[in-house]
Amino acid sequence: MIPHFFTLLTRPDKAWTDIRRDEEKNSSNYLVHLLLWALLPAICMFIGTRYVGWSLVENERIWLDTRSAFQLSLLIYLTIILGTFIMGFFLRWMSRTFDARPTFNQCVGFTAYVITPFFLAGLGALYPTRWIAILVIVAAGVYSTYLLFVGLPKFMRIDNRNTFLYGACTWAVGLLVLVNLKVPMILFWLQVLEPTYERNTPENQSYGFEENRPQDEPGGLDNERRFNERPNE
């Protein structure tokens, strides 16, 4: 697992050859890679949303309580695993069009290794901000695309003439699977599990605490004072 991980990041052409050779010896070799590395974004999400928090306005920070952060992290982990197997199914189904006959295990394993940069992108969840999320997702998407096109002819044994079309179809299906899994997952977390937020609300500097603010209630002292100060008619 570890040699493939580092080789994928440095020499992907060699990595795909080695991965294919190992797969022929053990068809479920990818499971260790998938199940372990999928923990990285889940754990980082838990730490970032529970202990670091994020900010929507100046001087205000928001966290999730332990229960909500754990539920979100668990849902992310399960979604990654489920999405990888669904993509494996679609890869095998599409391969018939391109005169390739990979097994289901090979397709799932190929997907698990292609999305390795997204596992690393999960480190960005340690400090959940908008710009960090955008940067790491874009970087992971670019390198995953590179791994996809390098791996199709070497691992999936797709003819070089069909590599671009098969890769483009894989990307399109991948985006479709991502949207159809992530959106229901987030809605389920928000609507059914009902997360609990913790905030550090800044004090209003102009008045201090709420009880020190001037009150303007109908019929109060201010209205009585204004009534007494009216000139007699």
Torsional sign, CA 39, 40, 42, 43: positive
Cβ neighbours of 172 (radius 10 Å): 11
In this predicted structure, what is the pLDDT of residue 200?
81
In this predicted structure, what is the pLDDT of residue 227?
47
Q: Buried b / exposed e across 183-218, counting CB within 10 Å, b at 16+?
A: eebeeebeeeeeeeeeeeeeeeeeeeeeeeeeeeee
pLDDT, mean of each 10-residue run, the chain (233 residues): 77 90 84 93 95 82 93 96 95 84 90 94 91 93 94 87 89 93 94 90 49 48 50 49
In this predicted structure, what is the pLDDT of residue 28?
82
Tokens of 137: 């997702």
Ranges of each domain in the chain: 25-202
Distance (Å, whole) CA 36 – CA 28:
14
Distance (Å, whole) CA 35 – CA 32:
5
pTM over 0.85, yes/no: no
**Please, are residues 171 and 179 in contact by the beta-carbon 8 Å criterion?**
no
Pairing of strands 62-64, 197-199: antiparallel
Distance of CA 59 to the CA centre of its chain: 26
Q: Buried b / exposed e across 53-84, counting CB within 10 Å, b at 16+?
A: bbeeeeeeebbbeeebbbbbbebbbebbeebb
In this predicted structure, what is the pLDDT of residue 59?
74
In this predicted structure, what is the pLDDT of residue 9?
86
In this predicted structure, what is the pLDDT of residue 126?
93
